[in-house]
Amino acid sequence: MNLNLYDAIGFNKIEEVLRLFYDQAVIDPLLAHFFFEKDIEELIQKQLVFTSILLGAKNLKYQGKPLKKVHERLNIRKVHLARRNVLMGEVMAQCGLPADLATKWQSLEQSLNSQISKDEAACND
């Protein structure tokens, strides 16, 4: 059976998680500087569509830029990816997302690490 995470979690729950994540990220000591003077609402909208498709949505079209192109000039390091994972985990739990769905969502995100961070691309561990 092909489990579709998107159907199991739902668009509204994905949006709730991402909104709460960005509320935290913009005041997080390790992450806030990346988002200084960015349009957070636009970022949430793009990431909502991107993430929905990543999780299995069939009826949406991502119209943002390719992830590698957007993130390569930001100098994101492993420590930032790790911090994002911790924050996402906390926010998913706060939103009542069952742990098995949260783990699957997080591992799909982690499969993108080499597109987000050069640090990650250079490391095999």
If binding is defined by CB under 6 A, does position 55 make contact with ligand HEM? no
H helix or E strand, kind and range, residue 47: helix 40-55
Q: Name the residue type at position 49.
A: V
Coil, helix or strand at residue 83? helix
Nearest-Å Rg of the Cα atoms of the chain is: 14
Residues 6+ apart with CB under 8 A from 120: 78, 81, 113, 114
- Closer residue to ligand HEM (CB): 1 or 16: 16
Instruction: Decide: is 84 part of the binding site for ligand HEM (CB under 6 A).
Output: yes
13/71 with CB nearer ligand HEM: 71
Nearer to ligand HEM, 32 or 93 (CB): 32
- Report the distance separating Cα 103 and Cα 82, nearest Å: 14
Q: Does 64 bind ligand HEM (CB under 6 A)?
A: yes
Please give the residues from 85 up to 124 whose contact with ligand HEM meets the rule CB under 6 A. 109, 112, 116
Q: Indicate whether 52 belongs to the interface with ligand HEM (CB under 6 A).
A: no
Instruction: Give the CA dihedral 100, 86, 20, 34, nearest 10 degrees.
Output: -140
Per CB under 6 A, residues contacting ligand HEM are 31, 34-35, 38, 43, 46-47, 50-51, 64-65, 67, 70-71, 74, 76, 80-81, 84, 109, 112, 116
